[in-house]
A and B are shown apart, each in its own frame.
Chain A
Amino acid sequence: MSARVDGAVAALRGDLIAYLQRRDRASEAEDVVQEAFARFYRAGHDVTAPDARPLLFVIARNIQLDRWKAEAREKARRSVHDIHDLDAGLGAVACEEPAADQHLIGRQDLAAAEAVIRALPPKTRDAFLLHRFRAQTYRQIADQLGVSVSMVEKHIAEALRQLKKSRE
């Protein structure tokens, strides 16, 4: 693992723990952060990408909220159904969050996606292809196509919108 990734993880981890502790002193922040990272990686995100920080924060917050709810349920359950505790066991409380729902585009959809991309206006199509298959930065794409960086972003957003529309 590169130093860049290590550095990004360390910085994010510290900020996340501080954020979670501000929300709830009693919560096991370390534990929540651990789970947040696990879920983050499972969903295929990249910790050095610009969206890493907001995503980790909202994922951690969701995990914390879920734990609060589970605790509240547990308290209510204990008070009302104290007597059934032995039957219920741990499974009644632990409600494993399903893995990130990553439905993959099927083969027909893939052909449809190709058609959508080919039917895009030339600049939109070229910007999208360079972004997706060449991993070029918006700056490089802007220079190559002779447009502004924010125009490149608009082209990418438009391509994504068309792709989404074709799937609905």
Chain B
Amino acid sequence: MFGRLTAFFATRPRTAEDWLARMGRPNADRREQAAFLAWLEADPDHLRQYEQAKADMASLERLRGAFALDVARLNRREPALRPSGRRLVLAGGMAFAALAVAGVLLAPRPPAAPEGRLYASAPGEITDVVLEDGSRVTLDAGSAIRVALAKDARRVTLERGSAYFEVAHDATHPFQVAVADRRVIVTGTRFVTSLTGDGAQVSLLQGRVLIGRRDAAERGALDGATVLSPGERAAFRPNEPGLEKAVADLETATAWRRRRLVFRDAPLSDVVAAAARYSNAPLVAADPRLSRVKVTTVLPLEGEGTIAERMAALLPVRTERAADGRVLVRAD
């Protein structure tokens, strides 16, 4: 009994930081709470110290982006996989968001910016990033951006995959996203950029963006730039002239941001290929009939079970785990 008592007293927190760590336990019992109250009452300054420690902890929220990559890695039991050949090259006519990964395989990677911080999402993991200027970026699975916030401009390079941007308004520091050889220049707005096997796309949700070839800080950067209005989409091929504007299917283009994939009249083979990017086990379309069955569906990327199981529950497909760990998908 005595031993137990000393052990209890030995671990009694003494400082505001100790108590904050103790109260992080979700089921602190009544005895703990009473001890905490006794500490708060012992010194009129303890409440202030505790609230200060808690506020400091809350203000670390602004470092979320800086640690996004570390946290994503921590949550993968195996070391983060680099994109590998197991992914399928997607057919044309795919849902916009789902096309993104093909860029990893086919598009030549733009030369890495010499400076700036790299944010990368692990395969299968969508990651939210808050940049230091307050802009928010959501990275699709297996995507990466490089960010350099300079005095003259805020520069981001889309290195691979897709990224959704909510740009903090700052007219004196234009926000520029380099997508291959083009520059998307804005001051404050919401848009999606994507590098794909077929090329690159920019879809605008709100505000106004200009797409040109020059850096935002260059003289005449906006000369000859293409103006995009909300609801419009621009598609182009890296290092080729020409830029095609069309009406954007925003629901489809941004669905991955809301942790789901949206398909309109898409062949099942496309659905499988898109889902494969969010699956931990390699997902393989093992049935030619998949390309003949078209579906319109919303596939949740998060929830109970694996994405393959959710797909099998939702769509006319069967899944089977092969001996080598791959999951084979067939039409039902």
Contact = CB atoms under 8 A, between A and B. Distances in A.
Interface of A: 43-45, 49-51, 53-55, 57-59, 61-62, 100-105, 107, 110, 113-114, 117, 126, 129-134, 137-138, 144, 149-150, 153-154, 156-157, 160-161, 163-164, 167
Interface of B: 11, 13, 15, 17-28, 32-34, 36-37, 40-41, 44, 47-48, 50-60, 62-64, 66-68, 70-71, 74-75, 132
Contacts of A157: 13, 17-18, 20-22
B55 A103 contact: yes
Contact of B28 (A50, A134, A163): A50
Contacts of B44: 62
A131 B50 CA distance: 18
A63 to B, nearest CB: 12
Contacts, number: 120
A132 B51 CA distance: 16
A52 B62 CA distance: 25
Nearest to B19: A51
Contact of A156 (B24, B27, B52, B71): B24
A156 B32 CA distance: 17
Contacts of B59: 104-105, 110
B73 to A, nearest CB: 10
A126 B75 CA distance: 10
B23 A50 contact: yes
A50 B33 contact: yes
Contacts of A149: 25
Given A50-B23, A54-B40, A117 B32 contact: no
Contacts of B19: 51
A129 B11 contact: no
Contact of A144 (B15, B20, B53, B74): B74
Nearest to A134: B71
B17 A161 contact: yes
A55 B71 contact: no
A51 B23 contact: yes
B239 to A, nearest CB: 37
A103 B58 CA distance: 11
A164 B51 contact: no
B26 A129 contact: no
Given A43-B54, A43-B55, 9 more contacts: A45-B54, A51-B36, A62-B47, A110-B60, A117-B63, A153-B24, A154-B21, A157-B17, A160-B53
> Across chains A and B, which 3 residue pairs bring their CB atoms closest together, nearest first?
A157-B21, A50-B28, A160-B17
B33 A132 contact: no
Contact of B25 (A59, A103, A132, A153): A153
